[in-house]
Amino acid sequence: MAEATETGKHYLDYYFDNPSPIAYEAFDLLSELWHGPHHVVEIVKITTTKANIWDRDLFCSVRFRNELATWDFNEMTRLVFLAHDRCIRVSVSAVSKGVLELAFHKRKRRGGMSQRHPTLEQAVEDWRKE
């Protein structure tokens, strides 16, 4: 598993007792997605939302009020690219009107369907074959 950046580690260690390794990676991914850790704290209301899960070994999840789009304000596209580059499965769920949840599961490049995650190039190649 990749090492957490010092910034991501600082933020999660400040707010939580035992963040999991995937939580550090997810926080770093979100920091890149939303242009800085301070935006993650603001967008997911890191200190006030009890629905956010940072301490599980196999996954973590965050809820937020925001949209994800593919072009203008292209967070959806960037989220997909970041997930493929970092080998993290990200799922998006609507939990209520205007609230989305992102769940993060660390994967490997090889293995069964529930264990692996392709690179972006592999995913595009497979999609073009369909």
For range 40-68, the mean pLDDT:
82
Q: Is residue 1 domain-resident?
A: no
pLDDT at 33 over 90: yes
Prediction pTM value: 0.87
Range scoring the smallest mean pLDDT among 6-10, 18-22, 68-72: 6-10
Band (pLDDT 50/70/90 cuts) for residue 1 is: very low
Q: Is residue 10 domain-resident?
A: yes
Q: How many structural domains are present in the chain?
A: 1
Q: Note the pLDDT of residue 46.
A: 64
pLDDT at 2 over 60: no
Q: Is residue 91 domain-resident?
A: yes
Q: Note the pLDDT of residue 123.
A: 93
Provide the residue range defining the domain that includes 110: 6-129
Give me the CATH number covering residue 76.
Answer: 3.30.980
Contact, 11 vs 23, CB < 8 A?
no
Q: Is residue 26 domain-resident?
A: yes
pLDDT at 88 over 90: yes
For range 87-106, the mean pLDDT:
94
Band (pLDDT 50/70/90 cuts) for residue 61 is: very high
Q: Judging by beta carbons within 10 Å of its beta carbon (0-12, 13-18, 19+), is residue 24 exposed, middle or buried?
A: buried
Greater pLDDT, 66 or 102: 102
- CA distances (Å), 114 to each of 44, 105, 106, 117, 128, in order? 27, 10, 10, 8, 22
